[in-house]
Structure 1
Amino acid sequence: MPESNTSTSTLGVTLHDGKGTIRVYSANATSIEFLVLNPSDSSEVQTRLTLKRTETDVWEATSPAIAAGVHYALRASGPDGARHGFNNKINLIDPYARGVVRESARDFHNVVLDGSFDWQGVEKPNTPMSQTIIYEAHARGLTRGNTDLPDDIRGTYAALAHPSTIEHLKRIGITAVELLPVQMFISEPRLMNMGLINYWGYNTINFFTPHHRYASPAAIEAGPEAIVAEFKTAVRELHRAGIEVLLDVVYNHTAEGGARGLTYSFRGLDNSSYYRQDDAGNYHDTTGCGNSLDFSNPRVVELVMDSLRYWTTEMQIDGYRFDLATTLARDGSNQYDPNHPMLAAMANDPVLSEAKLIVEPWDIGLGGWQTGNFPDRFNEWNDSYRDTVRRFWLADLAAKQNSGHFYSGVADLATRLAGSRDIVDGANGPLGSVNFVTAHDGFCLHDLVSYNVKHNQVNGEGNRDGNNNNYSYNHGAEGEVSDLGINALRRRSVRNMLGTLLFSAGVPMVTAGDERAKTQSGNNNAYCQDTALSWVNWNLTDAQTNLENNFAYLTKLRRENASLRQTNFGNFETATPDSDLVRWYSEHGEILTEQQWHDAQQRTLLRQVRHVDENGTKNETLTVLHGNDDAISLTLPPTPGHWELIWDSTHETPPVKFSKHKAHSKLLVGPTSMLVFRAE
């Protein structure tokens, strides 16, 4: 456990030989104090320790007064000046604190933890990326609406470990839960003044402490040690079920906001060293959140690495998704550097060697969009995949309705299905791409097929917030309708996009609730909505149950058919264990011509994939994507045996039995639909 680490170089608190050592980094402070606080009244200082500065700008003190269970705060003094933010009257959060107590909106203090926990011999699942299906979920929102859970644990870490939650995840075929930020965060004053909160959590104030509000009331009452234990229990029980836990981490900025923001921790210890700024104290913000941590400072890199090692070892986390990751790799001149020490440290660290490292490969700064430019060790969110799938199944259909013509054909879609080699042509192959159609920000899948425009009025910003370019299509009417025909079209479009996602080469990520047609009533930026609007619905209609059953069936097909989860880009000639055979056909059962590839009105695509494993076992599938609202006659391409139809998106429920079809035979394909065949 970190608190018992006897290393003299460890920052934060370490316990050893019946005493404790506190070590804090600050290059510009003139003094730092460690205040032992009365646990019952944190305004009462029981002991003051003065830290001594070392040659490495680390301040330290050793004392028997530093022990497990001690409540404490830091205070720092330093020079005035545009780049500094010292105020020795403010109690500061230790950047390395494992436990933090929130007294009020502006008052926090730290607790020294013991950190012991019984993992009961449960180990990490270590699921290969080739078999991973990521489920992006909010730690509170996933279970807050589940009335099958006891009231006192709904929306908590304890609920993540409950059999009801785990059974759902297992039934629908999820291998990894990616939790939106659970490192301790706070809400922006602007939101609090509006009576709202930061629900998503992209506003971190401490990189080592689990967010207290997601713990059960009993754990919160017991204190930080119990909160950490409840979080660890959730991880352990998910691991016991074979489900990995990934964390969405926000190391690009902190909750201290812009240069005139409040002081909680980093600003009060060494504003000049932690935040990227000019000599006049103007922050260089590439995150849109007021500040950016300065990753040209090795101490900032060290902070993030120590945090990652802690969560990987002590919390047994399986991997990470790095928010606005371009900021983490900006050098001294604020330019993105693929060889940045931060990226190199993560890629080469032995503690992180088995961890999944996923990046959001952009930020809002100059040169921020870096999709495809991160080192091979990282898997990248693929926004081009998202936009292409949405355009093919939705925006192009809307264009046809409005203009009589489609805007695009099948070429871009084929590139995404095949693993986006134009973007991730590296050692990872297609697995370098994390494919998604929706995520926490933007429309959920049901709303994507139900709204042409965003409806974010409840966010209090006059509907100005949120993306206006969604490639959505409401199928003829805005919002919820009673029209049976429109609703049937919407459900089919959802099935088409889920099928496309799960059968594309790459790593699929689905947003929690999309498998059961969750709606946010057209809100595509529900970052401040901790209400039923954001929570996953657990009381399902028949249509929602049918969709969930379809999703579970699709993940089963992906598991059972290696040709539906390619790990290589393939070739056109023959299947080998290292390279699948991949061929592309038109609806006439013939190889697509150059003219057809570039014809915007060519809206039917057939993908044949033949996989051969090391033992010579073959698996071959044919995926048909028909993006036209007219039915067509399909001619099946050649195969030595016959084609067995194993899924048809025009059906509301998974198939009970399969139909067999000979090569070159014809069958009718319904409007805007998707079929999957297996060669037998």
Structure 2
Amino acid sequence: MNPLDSRDTDPLGVVLDENGGTIRVFSATASEIWLCLLDTADPKKVINRVPLQRGENNIWTGWSDLLKPGAKYALSAEGPRGPRDRFNQKLLLIDPYAKGVVRESAREYHCVVVTDDFDWQGVGKPNSPLSETIVYEAHARGLTRANKDLPDELRGTYAALGHPSTIEHLKKIGITAVELLPIQMFISEPRLMNMGLINYWGYNTINFFSPHPRYATSKALAAGPAAVIAELKTAIRELHRNGIEVILDVVYNHTAEGGAGGLTHSYRGLDNSSYYRQDDSGNYHDTTGCGNSLNFGNPQVVQLVLDSLRYWSEEFQIDGFRFDLATTLARNVDNHYDPNHPLLQSIVSDPVLSNSKMIAEPWDVGLGGWQTGNFPDRFSEWNDRYRDSVRRFWLVDIAAARNSGKHWNSVADLATRLAGSRDIVDGPSGPLGSVNFITAHDGFCLNDLVSYDVKHNQANGESNRDGSNGNHSFNHGHEGADATAETKAVRRKAARNLLGTLLFSAGIPMVTAGDERLKTQNGNNNAYCQDNLISWVNWELNQHQIDFQETFAYLTKLRRENPVLRPSSFGDFHAATAEHDLVKWYNAAGEIMSEHDWHDGESRTLQRFSLHVDESGSLNAMLLVVHGSEIETGILLPQTPSVDNFELLWDSADETPQPDSRRLPAGTIIPMTATSIKLFKVV
């Protein structure tokens, strides 16, 4: 059989056979494409050029007996010189479907043929229920780079992710899923490199199939892309062996080729007109703020993303994906967001991805870009309204009360967030449609959120112009780390309030790596270019950081052990059933909340009573008391049917968890420390 007589359903990229390999490449506008086989010892030297043949649906195909595991290759293309085209046959281009890519210089790359052989040792995906998921957003390098318990050669690598030291920490603090910032191969912008900086976060992808090589050990790098792949797969296998899922933050909305003046590395040189959204004059329609946007009105771009997702899901056993600037992925031929976009619908229906967790960052910077709550039900969505509401209640309102004597907000919005944000994600997934977060990689970390009023991004080299100015933060009376012991204690309590709110809210909680131990970025709220101690997770802890980490681990344990703290559906005010929990809201006097209580900015105390009934009839009931004022007060524990006593499980006023087994009868008046949370179990 002639390997060129392939069906249109055959995969793109390199497919090996017993005698060599076939390569298939898409381009609707090229006039010629060549497979360039490179010298093994000198990849800059082309030893053979194989012309590809155009077939159906603009798929170009070629075969060579030199396409074998370890072979080095690139592509070259020629075509028209129109305003939407960027052909230059002198450039060696990255195969969009290459599984291994090696960087030769800032402008030069080559591809390497790899196989998918790996021994998973019978370890499968954990398949943790969404209701039990706690997402830990981490940088693949920054998580372990400063961990001195690791051998020097492993720190900051893929191997370190699967090391017992890392896994022990993740299990200790109760994490079920690590969400890795981008690890698909990316490059740094020339502007950053000229400043002596790099793109640390990695939101600048150049290839959607190959892992970023810089996070591999030097040993794996020296051995080549196949060894890098094996190292990453080993880390994923060991995380899975310990019940920890791996979610990838994927950047399909744009590529590292940048705007019109950017370098040509791959897609632009093969078919600029098809891959990127442009007008007739070749001007990019940029809805990402990164110079270009991939054209998801083109079915081939949709196919590229689907093929990439399936590859990572199957070959790397990835458990889920977080889609950066996901609105761009669902813009149709008219550049309008479409919740029924073919890409979204294909992801929802794809059998390979059926058990994968899908998380959307539901916005971009284009017209109509904010689409929170408007993605298909299979997607959970980053809930920025949750972030802002919780920050306002615990930080902005406290600052306002100190300055003016009045709080700006009532408890109503906070209660909506605690209940699962039904005003935003009112779909079949219930509160699990919302990914709740206080912090993320972008913005202040938790410690800095309670320690700074303004950003301090001078290290980024942009005169502090970069990064958001709308942080909803509060320094509690002094800017930065040099504060009194009393101020620092109040800050830690504020951080515990934020953390407790997050873990006791309906929805999927996401915490940023390092927040569990109060790491600081020295006020930098946009550390995208800081590959140093500013961004790395700290592993040498003082006593307060140890205490805070103990609190975090305790709170995740409470959430894990009590299903009433992690409901899968919205609550009901009348009864608890196997389908939904009973949820009632009380004021400080132990009375059902009135309209005045909900909307009075100075009624800052809220009690949430929740009752869960499982299918066997077992009961699990909790009372969460939130007091959002710096004036100490007393509350009356509500008297509700079938509840006799309450037992204190946690008080955010305590530096470390101090549960109290004394039984407090319903109707008891108890004190509430200024700005604090108490959690009681019904006994």
Please say whether Structure 1 and Structure 2 have the same fold, judged by a TM-score greater than 0.5.
yes
Deviation at 1:656, TM superposition (A): 5.2
Kept in 1: contact 2:648–2:660 (CA 8 A): no
In structure 1, the residue matched to 2:652 is 649
Which amino acid counterpart does residue 258 of structure 1 have in structure 2? G
Q: Please identify, of 475-484 and 240-249, the stretch whose mean Cα deviation from structure 2 is larger.
A: 475-484
SS of residue in 2 equivalent to 1:75: strand
Counterpart residue identity of residue 471, structure 2: N
Contact 1:570/1:582 (8 A) holds in 2: yes
Report deviation, 1:8.
6.0
Distance (whole Å) between structure 2 residues aligned to residue 294 and residue 463 of structure 1? 33
Structure 2 letter corresponding to 1:212: P
Query: For the structure 1 residues 6 and 658, does the alpha-carbon distance in structure 2 shift closer, same or farther, using more than 3 Å as the test?
Result: farther
- Aligned 1:112-127 pairs, distance under 5 A: 112-127=113-128
> What aligned pairs does 1:238-317 form with structure 2 within 5 A after superposition?
238-317=239-318
Whole-Å Cα distance in 1 between the matches of residues 161 and 486 of structure 2?
Answer: 37
Aligned to 1:92: 93
The worse-fitting range, judged by mean Cα deviation, of 403-412 and 649-658 is 649-658
Q: Deviations over 1:194-244 (max 9, x none)?
A: 000000000000000000000001001111000000000010000000000
**Aligned with 1:352: secondary structure?**
coil
Secondary structure in structure 2 of the residue aligned to 1:415: helix
SS in 2 for 1:454: coil
Kindly report which structure 2 residues correspond to 1:36-115, keeping only aligned pairs within 5 A, or say none. 36-115=37-116
Give the residue type in structure 2 aligned to 1:452.
D
Q: Is the 8 A contact 2:644 2:666 kept in 1?
A: yes
TM-score (normalizing by structure 1): 0.99
Post-superposition Cα deviations, 1:269-305, rounded to whole Å, max 9, x if no partner, equal 0000000000000000000000000000000000000
Find the counterpart in structure 2 of residue 150 from structure 1. Answer: 151
Counterpart CA distance in 1 for 2:24 and 2:7 is 12
Distance 1:152 1:579 in 2: 50
Q: Residue 50 of structure 1 aligns to which amino acid in structure 2?
A: P
- Unaligned 5+ runs, structure 2: 1-5
User: Aligned runs of 1:342-421 on 2, under 5 Å?
Assistant: 342-421=343-422
Tell me the secondary structure at the aligned position of residue 350 of structure 1.
coil
- Sort the Cα spacing of 1:6 and 1:341 in 2 relative to 1 into closer, same or farther, 3 A: closer
Give how far 1:678 is off. 0.4
Q: After TM superposition, which residue ranges in structure 1, 4 or more long, deviate above 3 angstroms?
A: 5-8
SS of 1:41's equivalent in the other structure is coil
Conserved 8 A contact 1:6-1:16: no
The corresponding residue for 1:619 is 620
The residue type equivalent to 2:347 in the other structure is M
Letter aligned with residue 33 of structure 1: W
Question: Structure 1 residue 249: deviation in Å?
Answer: 0.1
Aligned length: 676
Deviation at 1:657, TM superposition (A): 4.2
Determine if contact 2:647/2:660 at 8 Å carries over to the other structure: no
What pairs up with 1:446-461 in 2 under 5 angstroms?
A: 446-461=447-462
Check conservation: 2:516, 2:548, Cα contact below 8 A: yes
Q: Deviation of residue 18 (structure 1)? A: 2.2
Q: Distance in 2 between matches of 1:65 and 1:141?
A: 39
Shift of 1:394: 0.3
CA distance in 1, matches of 2:257, 2:236: 29
Deviations 1:71-91 (A, max 9, x none): 001000000010001000000
Are the equivalent residues in 2 in contact too, given 1:388–1:412 (CA < 8 A)? yes
TM-fit CA distance, 1:482: 4.2
Question: In the alignment, which residue of structure 2 is the partner of 1:425?
Answer: 426
In structure 1, the residue matched to 2:662 is: 659
Alignment correspondent of 2:676: 673
Cα deviations across residues 449-471 of structure 1 (Å, max 9, x unaligned)? Answer: 00000000010111010000000
What's the secondary structure of 1:426's corresponding residue? coil
> Which aligned pairs between 1:487-502 and structure 2 lie closer than 5 A?
487-502=488-503
Letter in 1 for 2:480: G
Residue 62 of structure 1: CA displacement? 1.6
Whole-Å separation in 1 of the counterparts to 2:661 and 2:276: 60
8 Å Cα contact 1:6/1:15 also seen in 2: no
- What is the alpha-carbon distance in structure 1 between the residues aligned to residue 597 and residue 677 of structure 2? 19
Residue 444 of structure 1 is matched in structure 2 by 445
8 Å contact 2:644–2:665 — kept in the other structure?
yes
Counterpart code for 1:506: G
CA distance in structure 2 between the partners assigned to 1:199 and 1:120 by the alignment: 33
Secondary structure of 2:653's match? coil
What amino acid does structure 1 have at the position aligned with 2:318? I
Task: Give, as a single letter, the amino acid of the residue that structure 1 aligns with 2:407.
Answer: F
1:641 Cα deviation from its structure 2 partner? 2.2
Q: Distance in 2 between matches of 1:260 and 1:188?
A: 12
Distance in 2 (CA, whole Å) between partners of 1:678 and 1:356 is: 31
Shift of 1:511: 0.2
Please report how far the alpha carbon of residue 513 of structure 1 lies from its aligned counterpart in structure 2 after TM superposition.
0.2
Please say if residues 247 and 322 of structure 2, whose CA atoms lie closer than 8 Å, have aligned partners that are also in contact: yes
Letter in 2 for 1:78: G
Task: Kindly provide the amino acid, as one letter, of the partner of residue 410 in structure 2.
Answer: G
In 1, distance between residues paired with 2:384 and 2:353? 26
Cα distance in 2 for residues equivalent to 1:8 and 1:423: 39
- Give the alignment's TM-score, normalised by structure 2: 0.98
Map 1:142-291 onto structure 2 (within 5 A).
Answer: 142-291=143-292
2:522 alignment counterpart: 521
The residue identity in structure 2 corresponding to 1:352 is L
Query: Whole-Å Cα distance in 2 between the matches of residues 191 and 482 of structure 1?
Result: 34
Distance of 1:616 and 1:656 partners within structure 2:
27
Measured after TM superposition, the shift of residue 610 of structure 1 is 0.2
Q: 1:55, CA displacement in angstroms?
A: 2.2
> Is residue 650–residue 659 contact of structure 2 (8 Å, CA) maintained in 1?
no
Partner amino acid, structure 1, of 2:354: S
In the alignment, which residue of structure 1 is the partner of 2:3? none
For 2:571 and 2:657, locate their aligned partners in 1 and report how far apart those are by CA, in whole Å: 29
Check the 8 A contact 2:649/2:659 in 1, yes or no. no
